[in-house]
Amino acid sequence: MTPDPALVQQPGPWTHRMVAANGGRFHVAQAGADDGRAPLVVLLHAFPQLWWAWRSQIPALAEAGYRVAAMDLRGYGGSDKPPSRHDTPSMVADVRGVIGSLGASSAVVIGHGLGGQVAWSMPALAPDVTRAVGVLAAPHPVPLHTPMARVAPASTLKSLAKFQVPWFPERSFTHADGVARLLRAWGAPGWEPDGVDLYTQAMRLPFVAHSAMEQLRWSLRSTPRMDGQRYRSAVNTSIDVPVLSLSGTADPVFSESSFRRDGDYVRGAYSRVSVTGAGHWLPEEAPEQVGELLIEWLHRLK
């Protein structure tokens, strides 16, 4: 049985809407004052999740005085699932379009994992709408997309290599417990993820698993190709806006050394915080601490 697409519109202290941008339609969960005065904060989720990963931070940021929009990236949840253009620059164009469609001239873009790669890319590819950047569990894309840079541990590279195989990775998410296994494997030891059923059902929506896999495949396969080289060249520039980087000390995907070069790409204010005991899923493993760190940083931007 195909899951009901409405499952992505979970109730809570937010509203759901579809936003037209970059030739597609994107699902956004938003909260906070929509009066044109509150600064806009756009939240981007990680693979294999959706906007729901930010459920603890959405009301916290709204109560702190921000207008919050947590969007489903292309291919995920309630957003459009195009058959092509699974590259990071296309996702940057999506975010740029969503910001404009929400009536804002600029936004603070905060991304986790895959969404963090999009956030890192915003100052170079969409500088006109990027006020500041927050990244969680996401090293800068230049060393990450540089052959032999060894930013990721061998275990992470092994997982990414498995995802390059056609068909089988998708089936592990749609017909087996691949989502649950991945959440547990990438979390801190002993952490039990919440929302596994929702993430699993969302991954079983038509075309979601394929879109998610194609995005991961692009990140690896594009490295030696011209499109990957153009992307790496574009983001290999100094970032003038403020940047906050959060990572977990127990993240099995990226060790603390994976972030050692990030500050070299930031000419603006750069803040780096390690969250003790947290794994890869920072918004869910340390929800209150992440919310407090984001609010403290956002207040400094005013």
CA distance readout (Å), 121 to 103, 141, 186, 243: 22, 8, 24, 12
Residues 115-144 pLDDT 10s? 999 999 999 999 999 999 999 999 999 988
Residue 245 phi/psi, 5° resolution?
A: -120, 125
DSSP string, 238-261: -B-S-EEEEEETT-SSS-GGGGTT
Pairwise pLDDT comparison (145 vs 141), residue with the higher score = 141
What is the distance of C-alpha 68 from the center of its chain? 15
Residues 6-62 pLDDT 10s? 788 999 999 999 999 999 999 999 999 887 789 999 999 999 999 999 999 999 999
pLDDT value for 150: 60
Which residue range(s) make up the domain with 269?
A: 5-301
Are 135 and 120 spatial neighbours (Cβ–Cβ below 8 Å)? yes
CA distance readout (Å), 228 to 59, 87, 139, 223, 235: 37, 9, 17, 5, 11
Count of domains in the chain?
Answer: 1
Sheet holding 270-275, edge to edge: 15-21, 24-31, 67-71, 40-44, 107-112, 130-136, 243-248, 270-275
Structure token pair of residue 215: 């995005």
Enumerate residues 6+ apart whose C-beta is below 8 A from 104. Answer: 40, 67, 129
pTM here is: 0.94
Residues 195-223 pLDDT 10s? 899 999 999 999 999 999 899 888 888 88
**Sign of the four-CA dihedral 100, 103, 109, 110:** negative
- For residue 223, what is the domain's CATH number? 3.40.50.1820
The Cα diameter of the chain in Å comes to 51
Mean pLDDT of 261-270: 94
* Residue 151 reports pLDDT greater than 70: no
Structure token pair of residue 204: 């079983």
Pairwise pLDDT comparison (164 vs 141), residue with the higher score = 141
* Residue 169 reports pLDDT greater than 80: no
Q: 56 burial class (0-12, 13-18, 19+ CB within 10 angstroms)?
A: middle
* Residue 244 reports pLDDT greater than 50: yes
Enumerate residues 6+ apart whose C-beta is below 8 A from 207. Answer: 75, 81, 83
